[in-house]
Structure 1
Amino acid sequence: MKNNLSNGTKLILLHPYIQKQGGSNRLWLLAIVSFLTMAFLATLIYTRESIATTTTVVATAAAIRPPLSRSVARALVHYSSNSNNTDRMSYTDMNQISEALRQCSQPCNFLVFGLTHETLLWNALNHNGRTVFIDESRYYAAYIEEKYPEVEAYDVQYSTKLSEMPELIAAIKEQEHNECRPVQNLLFSECKLGLNDLPNQLYEVDWDIILVDGPRGYWPEAPGRMAAIFTAAVLARSKKAGSGNPKTHIFVHDFNMKMDRMTSDEFLCRENLVKSKDRMGHFILERMESSSSKFCRSSHTHSSPAEDSAPSS
Structure 2
Amino acid sequence: MKNNNGNTKLILLHPYIQKQGGSNRLWLLAFVSFFTLAFLLTLIYTRESTSTSATSTAAAATIASPGLGGLPTTVINTLLYYASTSNNTFHMSHAELKQISDVLRKCSSPCNFLVFGLTPETLLWKALNHNGRTVFIDENRYYAAYMEEKHPEIDAYDVQYTTKLRELHELVASTKKQIRNECRPVQNLLFSECKLGLNDLPNHVYEVDWDVILVDGPRGEWPDAPGRMSPIFTAGVLARSKKTGVNAKTHVFVHDFYGEVERVCGDEFLCRENLVEASDTLGHYVLERMDANSFQFCRSNTSSKASSSS
Please say whether Structure 1 and Structure 2 have the same fold, judged by a TM-score greater than 0.5. Answer: yes
Question: 2: CA distance between counterparts of 1:264 and 1:147?
Answer: 34
More off after superposition, 128-137 vs 272-281: 272-281
Q: Is contact 1:176–1:294 with CA below 8 Å preserved after alignment?
A: yes
Shift of 1:258: 1.8
The answer to whether the 8 Å contact 1:92/1:278 transfers is: no
For 1:225-267, what per-residue CA distance to the aligned partner results, in whole angstroms no more than 9, with x for missing partners? 00000000000000012x2100000000001112211110000
Query: 2:282 aligns to what?
Result: 280
Q: Which sections of structure 2, spanning at least 5 residues, go unmatched?
A: 1-53
Q: What TM-score, normalized to structure 2?
A: 0.76
User: Of 88, 93, 96, which aligns to 2:96?
Assistant: 93
- Choose from 291, 297, 300 the match for 1:298: 300
Q: CA deviation at 1:71?
A: 2.1
Q: Does 1:205 align with 2:208?
A: yes
| 1:110 pairs with 2:113 | yes
Matching residue of 2:21: none
Contact between 1:233 and 1:268, CA under 8 Å: does it hold in 2? yes
Q: Residue 192 of structure 1 aligns to which amino acid in structure 2?
A: K
Q: Deviations over 1:260-283 (max 9, x none)?
A: 111100000000000013400000
Deviation at 1:302, TM superposition (A): 3.5
1:166 matched to 2:176: no
Secondary structure class of the residue paired with 2:115 = strand
Q: CA deviation at 1:172?
A: 0.6
Q: Name the SS of the counterpart of 2:242 in structure 1.
A: coil
What is the deviation of 1:182? 0.0
The 3-state SS of whatever aligns with 1:71 is: helix
> Structure 1, residues 153-194: CA drift from partner, whole Å, max 9, x if none?
000000000001111000011010110000000000000000
Of the three residues 243, 246, 262, the one matched with 1:244 is 246
Quote the residue 1:125 is aligned against: 128
- The number of aligned residues is 242
1:270 to 247, 269, 272: 272
Matches within 5 A, 1:2-151: 67-151=70-154
Q: Counterpart of 1:194?
A: 197
Unaligned residue ranges in structure 1 (runs of 5+): 1-56, 305-313
Alignment of 1:214-229 (within 5 A): 214-229=217-232
Q: Deviation at 1:292?
A: 0.2
Deviation at 1:303, TM superposition (A): 5.4
Alignment-mate amino acid for residue 181 of structure 2: N
Distance, in Å, in 2 between the alignment partners of 1:302 and 1:248 is 24
- d(CA) in 2 for partners of 1:218, 1:74: 32
Mapped to 2, the partners of 1:68 and 1:277 lie a distance apart of 28
CA distance in 1, matches of 2:185, 2:192: 11
Please give the root-mean-square deviation of Cα atoms over the aligned residues, in Å: 1.6
Contact 1:262 1:302 in 2 (8 A): no
1:185-242 residue CA offsets vs partner (Å, 9 max, x unmatched) = 000000000000000011000000000000000100000000000000000000012x
Letter in 1 for 2:98: N
Code of the residue aligned with 2:274 in structure 1: it is N
- Structure 2 CA distance for aligned equivalents of residues 215 and 302 of structure 1: 25
Give structure 1 regions of 4+ aligned residues with deviation exceeding 4 angstroms. Answer: none
Q: Distance in 2 between matches of 1:282 and 1:73?
A: 20
The code of the aligned residue for 1:266 comes to: E
* Cα distance change of structure 1 residues 91 and 302 upon mapping to structure 2, 3 Å threshold: farther
Give the aligned residue type for 2:149. Answer: E
Q: Return the alpha-carbon distance in structure 1 between the equivalents of residues 255 and 133 of structure 2.
A: 21
Q: Aligned partner of 2:97: which letter? A: M
State, as a whole percentage, how many aligned pairs show the same letter. 67
8 Å CA contact 1:93, 1:277 repeated in 2: no
* 1:103-156 Cα deviation digits (max 9, x unpaired): 000000000000000000000000110000000000000000000000000000
Q: Which residue does 2:233 correspond to in 1?
A: 230
- The residue identity in structure 2 corresponding to 1:252 is V
